[in-house]
Structure 1
Amino acid sequence: MTSTNCPRCGGRLARDNDSGRCAPCQAAERDRLSAPPVVPESFWEHEPVRQALASRHLGRVIRAYRYHPYHGRNPLPQSVVAGWLGITQAQLSRVENGPALVHLDRLAHWAALLKIPPARLWFALPGEPTPTVFSGARVEEGGSTNRRQFHALAALAGIQAGGGLDLLTAGAEPPPNLGMEQVRYAASLVDQLRSADAAVGADALCDITMQIHRRLSTWAEHAGYSRSVGEALQSALAHLAIQAAWLAIDADRRPEARPYLNEAIARARVADDARVEVRALACMSLLLREDRPGEALHCAEAASRAAAGWATPRLTTLLHLRSAHAYAVLRDTFGFEREMTRARRAFDGGSHEDDLPFISFVTEQEVTAITGLSYLALDRPDRAAACFRAITASAPDAYRRNRVYSTAQLARASIRQGDVAGAARAATAVLPALRQVRSGRTIRVLAEVRSGLNAHRAVPEARQFFDMCDESRA
């Protein structure tokens, strides 16, 4: 099709037609002011629309919808689409440019209005099966097929909890009464998800973890249990919510993380479990440090106060690292250096028998990585690159996902330094690892590096990177 064809029906346009539409399509388009048009299936294959759907951000989907060539040379006005959705033009602008919507009723209503095919959505429309995305495959809930699929996906995730998984499938009835056996089962799932995450990254685990969380929360709502079991169950569900939140962060689905952390803090307080509350506050600080560094700093400080008197050296290290990075984003060099000094002093205290299981990732490489990220926030790419280069040169530890992320950050720091060849080499090293370790955060960093390298395709290392990208896509 050429520029002299109607983008809607493919018909030839007259030479004096400057509207971008043939006369029949212009007539049909007059009805668009009252309702969205019926679009062909190929409409949703347009690359900007596909990317917007992949981002799980309905505002971006709406913007890509408005700018689709199907509507002619000019995009649909915000005022028109806002009228379809029952909001104002200013509200639609905030939806398109603000954080992703998380209210399921609004997501479903607007998706149905725009006639987005259910199979392309990351949530269920009313009357449609609930989609669960795992390793790029879509799995429908319900029935015996779901039970087999759930077991297969759980095995891929590294979850080996035996017949108890039957309780987690969509059609299973929650047990009428809960005991410590079920609580221990829930805790074992959290441990296994944590181990799998360190090896394969969040993209392969996020949705299945959220599904497990929904099922176990249903247990707590409908089953009976004693007070002691109830407190232990609240703590276990809080740990699971924190795990789901962390996976949403690493999968670059940050708007989905905060409700889980809010829930975790509430459950921890119901159970009077300060250790779980500290973990949730530390994760909240991580979530907020880029967009709300002041609030992230408050969360880290609140966690430190809650942990006073019992925090081990490794936990103390983590909380000072959270504060240090927040200070760096706030461009407070003195605060950053003070907190990093405290973090390294605490880290020198070594591991402790009372260390909580989740704290095991606080290694020398993690301390160095946070130092590098902080130097990037302080516009010191030279020192950041030195930190990330030290990580890639050191012996690998058990956290392969973190190492891949640090290598991507080395490419990012190098491109900011002006070291094009070094950035391209680091970015090229990340590509094979992303086939096994899928992390949305890492992919986002790599996309930034790719954009920075785009003007340097003549450099041999950059050319090799782009060639490898093309091979991966193929």
Structure 2
Amino acid sequence: MTHANCPRCGGRLARDNDSGRCTPCQAAERDRLSRPPTVPASFWEHEPVRQALAERHLGRVIRAYRCHPYHGRVALPQSVVAVWLGITQAQLSRVENGPPLVHLDRLSHWAQLLRVPAESLWFRLPDEPRGTGASVAHIAHGVDQAANQGQRAAVVVSVEQESSLGGGATDRRRFNVLAALTGLAAAGHPYLLTGHADAPGNIGMEQVRLASSMVNDLRQADAAVGADQLCDVAIQVHTRLSNWAAKAKYSREVGDALQGALADLGIQAAWLAIDAERRPEARPFLNEAITRARIADDPRVEVRALALLSLLLRDSQPGESLHCAEAAIRVSAGWATPRLTTLLHLRRAHAYAVLSDASGFSLEMTKARRELERGPHEDDPGFVDFVNEQELNGIQGLSYLALGRPERAAQSFRAITANPSPGHRRNQVLYTVDLAEATYQQGDANGAARIALDVLPAVSQMKSGRVSRNLAQVRSNLAAPRHATTTTRQFVDAYDRAVTV
């Protein structure tokens, strides 16, 4: 039986109308491929939407939104809504069917995009959008103004004010990298942030060194606070520098160095995208970096790109991940330091574990540990600073989880919590969350809840999509009715309160 009236406007439908919408409403919604429609207030009173909001699960809210009769007899396709949200259809499917989202920036952005009434939400919307992109634009404007006036100090104050908006330790750490960006203005290069029209027509080694220093600044800030606040900064600077390099003139010597610097900055942007759970954005940067490294004949940069590509592909294409790590080993033959070789064997070890190849995993872990025991080397590249005993135990723990051996995984993660690495706090927090997951998989829900509760404040300060996603999975597991105890409820309640702050 068909509806006699259009669900959108209430107008009478023609007998031969099988679309579920009247002609004027169909015409009004022809732009739905580019943005969400404006829906009436009654839209949010539909029972499936109300239920999803009550469950505090934005993914289910989106699914109820897609299937609302307001859109006609056929639900909005995931592919259409994914375009609105800036993600892929596969990602939207995971959002709808996976654990609740925890990242407040993403929750706020999507809720505002879909125009969900603020009073229906379980978290507070900001008075004005304060996402990473808005912050970058604000800072870039300040940098541009200060550069025109030649006042570096004014820029630092402007950045400090921007940082103080959040008021927490995370924002104070973030200030370090944002203050470093003011060096672009002080050095007379604001166009790297703002697309300034007065970019010089020539590029020299000074600008190449500036790009290289940006990589180090971003890497240090990422190790402390995670990638979410930094990803757009790196992408914007890389885009500006790439556009400038495509138009400017430079010598052959500068050109080779510039290709390497752009590749290194692209790799850093790719890593930040991975840690911010924006994985689809990472691969183009890595493909470009490999090409630039080969043009510049820079095997060190190529190996770094291959090592990160191995990480990116590990869960979705573990066979390809192995090939990338093997290619990196071949390219680095003869000059790789022990810590770099350790990293490449760890990449292979984890990929073997995802492939359920326990013997391959064991062999690669033995090689990695043997190389790590050789100690640091004066030629260690900067990107292997995190390769230490903590990282080895972390990859070992993740691999044991992939192999279905949570008891061995928990042992590896406990070794990390017992001997923390102060310089890599984000990894410390990440592996503590993984310890909670391993403890849960061992059947100890209360133990997992205690670990998760202890690490929750640190996760709340982190700006890492990976860390947030992993803790959200722990919360989803422990919220199941069969695990309902005083301890698990205490964690779930604390987690939900943290998300609403």
Please indicate, yes or no, whether the TM-score normalized by the shorter chain is above 0.5. Answer: yes
SS for the counterpart of 1:399 is helix
CA distance in 1 between partners of 2:461 and 2:8 (Å): 49
Q: 1:469 to 1:279 in 2, by over 3 A?
A: same
Q: How many residues align?
A: 418
Residues 411, 449 of structure 1: 8 Å contact kept: yes
CA distance in 1 between partners of 2:289 and 2:40 (Å): 41
**Pairing 1:279–2:304 present:** yes
Q: Which segment drifts farther, 387-396 or 291-300?
A: 387-396
Instruction: Quote the residue 1:204 is aligned against.
Output: 229
1:221-258 Cα deviation digits (max 9, x unpaired): 11111000010011011010000000011011111100
CA distance in 1 between partners of 2:44 and 2:303 (Å): 44
Aligned pairs (5 A) from 1:300-319: 300-319=325-344
The residue type paired with residue 445 of structure 1 is: N
CA distance in 1 between partners of 2:4 and 2:394 (Å): 56
CA distance in 2 between partners of 1:18 and 1:376 (Å): 55
Instruction: Quote the residue 1:104 is aligned against.
Output: none
Instruction: Quote the residue 1:67 is aligned against.
Output: 67
Instruction: Quote the residue 2:364 is aligned against.
Output: 339
Instruction: Quote the residue 2:194 is aligned against.
Output: 170
Q: 1:270 to 1:22 in 2, by over 3 A?
A: closer
1:6-62 Cα deviation digits (max 9, x unpaired): xxxxxxxxxxx999959826659333556627423867997979x9x999xxxx998
Identity across matched positions, percent: 53
**Pairing 1:360–2:359 present:** no
Across the aligned residues of Structure 1 and Structure 2, the Cα RMSD in angstroms comes to 3.9
TM-score normalised by structure 2 residue count: 0.74
Aligned pairs (5 A) from 1:168-317: 168-172=192-196, 173-317=198-342
1:357-411 Cα deviation digits (max 9, x unpaired): 1111001000000000000110111111111111112233300010111011111
Residues 231, 272 of structure 2: 8 Å contact kept: yes
Of residues 456, 462, 465, the one that matches 2:488 is 462
Q: Which segment drifts farther, 329-338 or 384-393?
A: 384-393
Of residues 403, 422, 425, the one that matches 2:447 is 422
1:321-368 Cα deviation digits (max 9, x unpaired): 000000000111110000000000000110000000111100100000
Give the C-alpha shift of residue 171 in structure 1: 4.0
Instruction: Quote the residue 1:24 is aligned against.
Output: 10
**Pairing 1:160–2:184 present:** no
Q: Which segment drifts farther, 370-379 or 463-472?
A: 463-472
Residues 312, 354 of structure 1: 8 Å contact kept: yes
1:40-87 Cα deviation digits (max 9, x unpaired): 3867997979x9x999xxxx9986652246447x65265xx98x99xx
Q: 1:26 to 1:388 in 2, by over 3 A?
A: farther
CA distance in 1 between partners of 2:202 and 2:61 (Å): 44
Give the C-alpha shift of residue 195 in structure 1: 0.3
Of residues 78, 85, 89, the one that matches 1:96 is 89
Q: Which segment drifts farther, 166-175 or 394-403?
A: 166-175
Residues 245, 258 of structure 1: 8 Å contact kept: yes
Residues 99, 255 of structure 1: 8 Å contact kept: no
Give the C-alpha shift of residue 455 in structure 1: 1.9
Q: 1:275 to 1:24 in 2, by over 3 A?
A: same
CA distance in 2 between partners of 1:255 and 1:267 (Å): 20
Give the C-alpha shift of residue 416 in structure 1: 1.2
The residue type paired with residue 167 of structure 1 is: Y
SS for the counterpart of 2:422 is coil
Instruction: Quote the residue 1:125 is aligned against.
Output: none
**Pairing 1:397–2:422 present:** yes
The residue type paired with residue 373 of structure 1 is: L
CA distance in 1 between partners of 2:27 and 2:314 (Å): 43
CA distance in 1 between partners of 2:488 and 2:110 (Å): 38
1:79-106 Cα deviation digits (max 9, x unpaired): xx98x99xxxxxxxx9634789xxxxxx
Residues 268, 277 of structure 1: 8 Å contact kept: yes
CA distance in 2 between partners of 1:19 and 1:308 (Å): 72
Residues 158, 193 of structure 1: 8 Å contact kept: no
Structure 2 portions without partners, runs of 5+:
14-19, 82-86, 94-108, 115-128, 146-154, 163-173
CA distance in 2 between partners of 1:19 and 1:41 (Å): 17
Aligned pairs (5 A) from 1:47-66: 65-66=65-66
Q: Which segment drifts farther, 27-36 or 228-237?
A: 27-36
The residue type paired with residue 40 of structure 1 is: V
Give the C-alpha shift of residue 446 in structure 1: 1.1
SS for the counterpart of 1:331 is coil
Structure 1 portions without partners, runs of 5+:
1-16, 86-93, 101-115, 122-131
CA distance in 2 between partners of 1:410 and 1:117 (Å): 31
Residues 186, 236 of structure 1: 8 Å contact kept: yes
Q: Which segment drifts farther, 237-246 or 390-399?
A: 390-399
Give the C-alpha shift of residue 297 in structure 1: 0.2
CA distance in 2 between partners of 1:438 and 1:406 (Å): 15
Residues 242, 261 of structure 1: 8 Å contact kept: yes
Give the C-alpha shift of residue 186 in structure 1: 0.5
